[in-house]
Structure 1
Amino acid sequence: MSEAAKQNWSFKDFINQAGIGLALLGLVVFFAVTTEHFLAPNNITNILTQITINLVLAVGMTFVILIGGIDLSVGSVMAFAAVVAGKAITTAGISPGEAIAFACLAAVLAGVVCGILNGVISSYWGLPSFIISLGMLNIARGAALHISDARTIFSFPFAFEEFGSAQFYGVPMVFILAMVLVLVAWFVLNKTVFGRLIYGIGNNEEAVRLAGHSVFWYKVAAFVICGLCAGIAAIIYMARLNISSPIAGIGFELNAIAAVIIGGTSLFGGRGSVIGTLLGAFIIGVLANGLILYGLNDFMRQMITGVVIIVAVVLDYYRAKFAG
């Protein structure tokens, strides 16, 4: 790619993200003007807390969509990781401090294993990740229900709940953790060879292969990162609610995909950014919070969110034509 083409691409990418930022700003201004408590400090804190899990899942989903894949299993994998961690805490018979570390390790490992399976099976046999992750969705959900006997697990160490409710100058600690993850993902995608190859696979997988890189392992790594983020989301979920439920995370995969697509990452792969994903997660969170303040019921909120997702996909189609 020529230097002029790189500069042109950067300009297009900047315009795309600026448009997403303006859309978010417009939503904030609209709800601030039309509702009474939208800008109240407690409500802002609620928004930051509520978007955290979706943001973490969406960060992992960004890597998968950038290579032209999709992972429909992240909600179920999150529930599976939470149940595994919950069982580890309640049955290990160790001190509270050790239990927390053990639970975090168990949740992350559970998510990573699911990511490895998704990546290896879909990449080795060249199968659509849509189908493989759909199968993993059912496997992880069934495993969560089986391990927990379809019961909610609770009675975790107090430190879990303490972290879930902790704030730093009004900013939830769980949101700060999510932002650290965003910054790490941004660095990986923009400042490392691995990140450039993730974009390269999404743009032209065959060219990356002919350049001598192992496309298989990079694609597996993208799914592993997605599973890792699902494990981290499970830890945050446990810290916020102080429970592990085998039915947690239903529909979360759709919200994560929506945040990525609304944030400007192309469903066709090869184009997008984790900063756009951050803005997309904020748009979904602000929209949901504003609609609650309007007094709309859950069914209406789902319908409106669905419309926003469809509009985002249509815009993605035209963005792809513009970039081409």
Structure 2
Amino acid sequence: MGIAELSDLLVWAAATTLAIAMIAFAVDLGRRTGERVEARDASRATVGAAAPGLAPGSTLGDAGDGAVPPAEPRRRAAGIAMSTTSLGTALLLVAIVLRGLAAGRTPWANMYEFTLVGSFIALTVFLLLNLRRDVRFLGAFVTGLATLFLVLGLNVFHVAATGVQPALQNYWLVLHVGVAITATGIFTVSFVMSALQLLRDSREAGSPFLSRPGFRWLDRTPTPTVLEAMSFRLNAVAFVLWTFTIIGGAIWAEDAWGRYWGWDPKEVWSFVIWVVYAAYLHARTTRGWSGRRAAWFVVVGYACVLFNFTGVNLVFNGKHSYSGLS
């Protein structure tokens, strides 16, 4: 077995591990929802008798400073999910390194490698966010997307680990493409937050579909305002990186092709992404756009990111066609 084959095997292992993590995160979210409902019903049933001094209709949470809220039960499924996510991320990192060794270059020169590294960045962002605050509610969705991307990469985008064209044999491959992948990974996590914001907001607004008991897990996510704030911070960071991506790409284009801008499909759609996220940041900070309108901006922006990665590479012919399948 060669290094390239070992890399592919580790990607499969990472996808399998992340699928297990996704299931564990989903189980944790479901159990927390059920425990919350049971605890709420139990507290209402024991009003007055179990806690003297409580007024009729009040709960233990209304007893004042003297009341001790029940301790949150140990979240074993969440612990398993975080451990398997860390393991899957580590396996993916090793696979990426081996891919680079097999190809003898930086391992992000085509769609398959972009998929691997972009998924790794999204997972890393998720794990780093958990060091600052508990965002495990994102786990099922981030690991689910990463699993989907890795399986698609292995079955649709996979190419042999070979060298690159002379135009790509440049340090800008490390900078320009590396920064673009980092921005894409951050955009992925912020998209998950905005999608959850829309779902939670619709549930709170009384959506007939989302008001069903099967969507009680949305009650365990932060409020739409909190989700929007977290998404905004991530998008601000990713936007700066995407700005550098466009500037770096223009500099590289002048060095490789003798012009800074040529309206190549990849250049055009990269600029479209920049415009969408710039409009989002501007509207939210200066025009007071918030709530659902801001969240839909993020969803549209991420749709453009996905189209730039898939549709532009597979449908249009241009100077960036070598970044697709070969």
Give TM class, smaller chain: under 0.3
TM-score (norm 2): 0.26
TM-score (norm 1): 0.26
